[in-house]
Structure 1
Amino acid sequence: MNKRHLTAYAVVAILFAATGAYTGLRQSAPPVTTAQPAGVTGPVAALFKETLPDAKGVATSLAQYKGKAMLVNFWATWCAPCVQEMPELSTLSAGEEGKKLQVIGIGIDSPSNITEFSDKYKITYPVLVAGMSGTDLSRQFGNTQGGLPFTVLIGADGQVKKTYLGKLKFDELRKDLATL
């Protein structure tokens, strides 16, 4: 490469850099607001927009749970810790806590696997089928690695109170529920 070409390339690169800098400076930054908008926002709002089939294929709108405290458990049939915690989640759902708290299982698995699983085990709370899109939904709640089980405690106000990655420690969960 000769000096003339090298000089031309340098001039073009400087022009592109200057144009980029000028354009970047001309774009105004969005206004910063400190007040929280009214209503439910963020991942909880995304959750309430979902309509997912249950194990029998019946569409269930998650918006019906607005205004109620929720425990949303992301799980899969092939996840041993997920399956191990389900009987205790069923007990929680059927007990006194279940009167104040809606437990929901969101299966990150195929509809046929979840249907077969639900037929085999008696689960006392709604089990919904999200497939792999459930992983994206759990990531919105902070599950960046997509690990399972992943559980989200949501207050009646629509705010995330706590998230749990891995098998639930029910003593800890009951203490957290007492603060709702």
Structure 2
Amino acid sequence: MTPAQKTGGRNRRRLLFYGAAGVAAAALGGGLAWRQLAPKAASDRAVDLFYAQSLEGLDGRNYAFEQWRGRRLVVNFWATWCPPCVEEMPELDQLHQEFVNQVHFVGIGIDSAANMRKFVEKVPVGYPLLIAGNVGTELARELGNASGGLPFTVVIDEKGAIVHQYSGRIQPETLRRALVEA
């Protein structure tokens, strides 16, 4: 074996080693980033804080969240300016109709009442839509939405525990399975 061949072999091994190390570092970095952006487990305090809230609905009524304690509840944080939120609303409404006697749905709008009213003229929704504005963003963070992105959906069971959290547009089948399992 010539000295050039020995050097070439060492360089290939070195390149493979550094390449593997780079892939491992990228995977670790991606995993850490996912952990930062993924929904965080909400504490019991956060759920208690949630149930202590009340917001005005588009229908003008004041909704005390305490009324939903002891029932399975789907809480969807959304906004009219959020395309994935708008896309999933008809599907959420369909699931609301499917589970009407088993699960309560509520939409918390991180938006203005005027924008939300215009939206429901085009896309009717059968469950309460509550007006939260920026207060809703903080409530969503307390429930595990560390990134603050929309849409964000949580499923709370009858005992007051968050059993599922979803950041981004939820697929109807995913939520359906969660509701059947819960």
TM superposition score category, shorter chain reference: 0.7 to 0.9
Contact 1:74 1:149 in 2 (8 A): yes
Q: What percent identity do the matched residue pairs reach?
A: 40
1:83 is aligned to 2:86: yes
Residue 41 of structure 1, CA deviation: 3.1
How far apart in 2 are the matches of 1:121 and 1:173?
A: 20
Q: 2:54 is matched with which residue?
A: 51
1:171 is aligned to 2:173: yes
Residue 120 of structure 1, CA deviation: 2.8
Instruction: Map 1:31-50; keep pairs closer than 5 Å.
Output: 41-50=44-53
Unaligned runs of 5+ in 2: 1-42
Q: Counterpart of 2:162 in structure 1: which amino acid? A: V
Residue 138 of structure 1, CA deviation: 0.3
Residue 99 of structure 1, CA deviation: 1.3
4+ long deviations beyond 6 Å: none
Q: 2:129 is matched with which residue?
A: 127
1:64 is aligned to 2:67: yes
Instruction: Map 1:74-153; keep pairs closer than 5 Å.
Output: 74-95=77-98, 97-153=99-155
How far apart in 1 are the matches of 2:45 and 2:164?
A: 15
Unaligned runs of 5+ in 1: 1-39
Per-residue CA deviation, residues 94-137 of structure 1 (Å, 9 max, x unaligned), is: 11x22110011000001111122223321011100000000000
How far apart in 1 are the matches of 2:122 and 2:173?
A: 27
Contact 1:71 1:102 in 2 (8 A): yes
How far apart in 1 are the matches of 2:157 and 2:143?
A: 14
Q: 1:22 is matched with which residue?
A: none
How far apart in 1 are the matches of 2:59 and 2:156?
A: 26
TM-score (norm 1): 0.74
Partner SS, residue 46 of structure 2: helix
How far apart in 2 are the matches of 1:58 and 1:43?
A: 24
Residue 150 of structure 1, CA deviation: 0.2
Contact 1:106 1:134 in 2 (8 A): yes
How far apart in 2 are the matches of 1:175 and 1:60?
A: 28
Partner SS, residue 146 of structure 1: coil
Greater Cα shift, 152-161 or 118-127: 118-127
Higher helix share: 2
